Homo-oligomer: A and B are copies of this chain.
Amino acid sequence: MATLCKPAVAVPENVITMADTLELARKVHHGHPQLDLALRLIRNTGVRTRYIVRPISEILRHPGFQARNVIFEEEAKRRVPDVVRRALDNAGVGAAEIDLIVFVSCTGFMMPSMTAWLINTMGFRHGTKQLPIAQLGCAAGGSAINRAHDYCTAYPEANVLIVACEFCSLCYQPTDLGVGNLLANGLFGDAVAAAVVRGQGGVGPRLECNTSYLIPDTERWIGYDVKATGFHFVLDRRVPATMEPLSPVLRRFARERAWDASDLDFYVIHAGGPRILDDLSRFLEVDAVRFGHSRATLENHGNIASAVVLDALRRIFDDGGMRPGSKGLIAGFGPGITAEVCMATWVGDDTTLDDELAGLVAPQLAGAAAA
């Protein structure tokens, strides 16, 4: 048993609204032959606000790959610890009880990774295992959950901390002028998210089984060109259409557990863009309303890469969580094109359950005593 406890999420203080984005695009790309198309695409994202680690004026001046990585490290060290502390608190687990840290990020590169710094500075045991993942992009959120699940399956007493640290604004490339890049400039946001997967106890989705699926021959559809100026995002216009071939995979995966992918109680979906959600809703025959928490992440934070799934799940918790026994699906999508998916059953707090039972029983006892 492995339970994904309530995630903690933080977004930076520098806000960009849709209006800011459109105005910037008009100004920066004035005269671009496809500007109107880009503006329409950006408007269609539905992203109302995004938050970035540095003021937009600073982001627009690309300071070089080296400076960007220095900023990544500074901002990660500044912003990750508080989120980690809150994730530990949410799970009722101390740093010293964590056995594995899965740290995922595709927007800055450090070696050693942040796992070493976290262990040295935040009270984790020096024997804590480290699993940094940089190359799974937006799918890494799902992957982190799934690898944590695998780990707790191997070691049922273990606790795994997962951290998604994505500063997408640090991958802004002013020289990339394709429509896909212009769209990306209006879509991605920055965030840090963390959660604990507890082998024993915990409240939240109990991870039942997980799977991964690589859509054949789509390697070039999402990815990075790695250049002297850093990571250059590549986005093929065919990406949103991948929900069509993925849907039967999700259906089959659910059916293996005798679940119906079209009729689950909760969905935590990587909201890479609005069409991902629209198409998945259509092909899975799930009312789009059921993806509301994922869409709220997209609208309020933009595509925050591997942090999306943790933020969407956090919203479900904030809405009061699910009833124990509720069945759900968590799905991350990213380069490959890879889907990292798991099925989960919501588990409640046994203590609370005991209290509730006690509450039910107590009046009867009182009645018996009065009798």
A interface with B by C-beta (< 8 Å): 64-66, 69, 106, 109-113, 115-117, 119-120, 126-137, 143, 146-147, 150-151, 153-155, 211-217, 219, 222-229, 231, 335-336, 338
> Is B112 a contact of A223 with CB atoms below 8 Å?
yes
On chain B, the residues within 8 Å of A219 by CB distance are 112, 116-117, 120
> Is A110 a contact of B130 with CB atoms below 8 Å?
no
In addition to A111-B223, A116-B214, A120-B214, 15 A-B residue pairs with Cβ atoms within 8 Å of each other are A65-B228, A110-B224, A111-B134, A112-B222, A112-B335, A112-B336, A117-B219, A126-B213, A127-B213, A130-B212, A130-B336, A130-B338, A150-B151, A153-B155, A228-B228
A216 to B127, CA, bound (A): 10
> Is A225 a contact of B66 with CB atoms below 8 Å?
yes
A226 to B134, CA, bound (A): 14
Say which residue of B128, B135, B212 sits within 8 Å of A111 (CB atoms): B135
Q: Which residue of B lies closest to A233 (CB)?
A: B111
Say which residue of B150, B214, B215 sits within 8 Å of A154 (CB atoms): B150
A-B residue pairs in contact (CB < 8 Å), sample of 28: A65-B65, A65-B228, A66-B227, A109-B135, A110-B135, A110-B224, A111-B135, A111-B137, A111-B223, A112-B136, A112-B335, A116-B335, A116-B338, A119-B214, A120-B217, A120-B219, A126-B215, A126-B216, A128-B214, A130-B336, A131-B147, A132-B135, A150-B150, A150-B151, A150-B155, A153-B155, A154-B154, A228-B228
A143 to B136, CA, bound (A): 18
A219 to B229, CA, bound (A): 26
> Is B338 a contact of A65 with CB atoms below 8 Å?
no
Task: Identify whether the interface residues of A are mostly helix, strand, loop, or mixed.
Answer: mixed
On chain B, the residues within 8 Å of A134 by CB distance are 109, 111, 132, 134-135
On chain B, the residues within 8 Å of A127 by CB distance are 211-214
> Is B335 a contact of A111 with CB atoms below 8 Å?
yes
Smallest distance from the beta carbon of A265 to chain B beta carbons, Å? 25
A113 to B222, CA, bound (A): 11
Q: Which residue of B lies closest to A234 (CB)?
A: B111
Q: Which residue of B lies closest to A224 (CB)?
A: B111
Q: Which 9 A-B pairs have the closest CB atoms?
A: A153-B154, A154-B154, A112-B335, A113-B135, A132-B135, A228-B228, A66-B227, A69-B226, A129-B212
Q: Which residue of B lies closest to A212 (CB)?
A: B129
A225 to B126, CA, bound (A): 24
Q: Which residue of B lies closest to A129 (CB)?
A: B212
A120 to B217, CA, bound (A): 6
Say which residue of B64, B110, B112, B229 sits within 8 Å of A338 (CB atoms): B112
On chain B, the residues within 8 Å of A151 by CB distance are 150, 154
Smallest distance from the beta carbon of A162 to chain B beta carbons, Å? 14
Q: Which residue of B lies closest to A72 (CB)?
A: B226
Known A120-B219, A154-B153, A228-B64; judge A112-B135 contact (CB<8 A).
yes
Smallest distance from the beta carbon of A352 to chain B beta carbons, Å? 30
